[in-house]
Amino acid sequence: MEKAIHWIIDHLPKPLQKLWYDHESVWMYILMGGLTTVVSLVFQMLPTALFNTMHMANWLNTGLSTTISWIFAVTFAFFTNKKYVFKSETHTRAAFWREFYMFYGARLVTYFLELAIMELGNHFFATVNGEIVTWRSLLVKILAQVVILVLNYIFSKLVIFKKKETAE
C-alpha cells in the first residue's frame, strides 16, 4: 500500500509533492484515520440497524454498537498507525506489547469520551419517537470521530510511538 501511495504522490505537481513529504506522517495519519473511520462507521451502523430490528433499548443499542465499532477500529488503527504512520519497528516482544497496551490504553480513554458523545448525541439529537434514527446517529458518530481523531493523534505522536532520541 505504501508503494501505491508514493506512486500517486510522485505523479503530483512538485509543490504538492513537497507538501506531502514535508508533513508525511500527518497526511498518512489523516489517510489511515479516514480508513479507520470507515471501519468504525460500518461496524457502528450494522449493529445499530440489527439491534433496532430487535427493539433493543436505545442506551443498550448505542453502547453495544459503539463497543463493537471501537474494537474493530482500534485493532485496524493499531496496525496501520504502527506500520504506515509512525513506522515503528519493535524488535522484541516486550517492545511490541508495550506499544500495544499503551495504544489500547489511550484508545480506551478516548473510547469513553466517544461513548459519552454518542449517548448524549443520540439522546438529544438522534432519537425520534423513542427510536434511534440511523442517519442522525451517523452524524453524531462523524462528530465523535473528528474529536477522537485529533486526540488519538496527540496520544500516538507524543506518547505511544514517540521516537527515541539518539545521542549525537
Cα first-last separation, the chain: 34
Q: How would you write the chain as a 3-class SS string? A: CHHHHHHHHHCCCHHHHHHHHHCHHHHHHHHHHHHHHHHHHHHHHHHHHHHHHCCCCHHHHHHHHHHHHHHHHHHHHHHHHHHHHCCCCCCCHHHHHHHHHHHHHHHHHHHHHHHHHHHHHHHHHHEECCEECHHHHHHHHHHHHHHHHHHHHHHHHHHHCCCCCCCC
% of residues, the chain, pLDDT over 70: 97
Q: What is the pLDDT of residue 165?
A: 60
Query: Is-above-0.75 flag for pTM?
Result: no
Q: Which residues pair with 82 in a beta bridge?
A: none
State the pLDDT at residue 80: 95
Tens-digit pLDDT profile for residues 13-61: 999 999 999 999 889 999 998 899 899 999 989 888 888 888 878 778 8
Contact 66, 122 (CB under 8 A): no
Residues 120-151 have pLDDT tens digits of: 888 888 777 777 777 888 888 889 988 988 89
Taking all residues of the chain, what is their mean pLDDT, rounded to a whole number? 87
**Which pLDDT value is given to residue 101?**
94
- Partners of residue 127 on adjacent β-strands: 132
Q: What is the mean pLDDT of residues 149-161?
A: 89
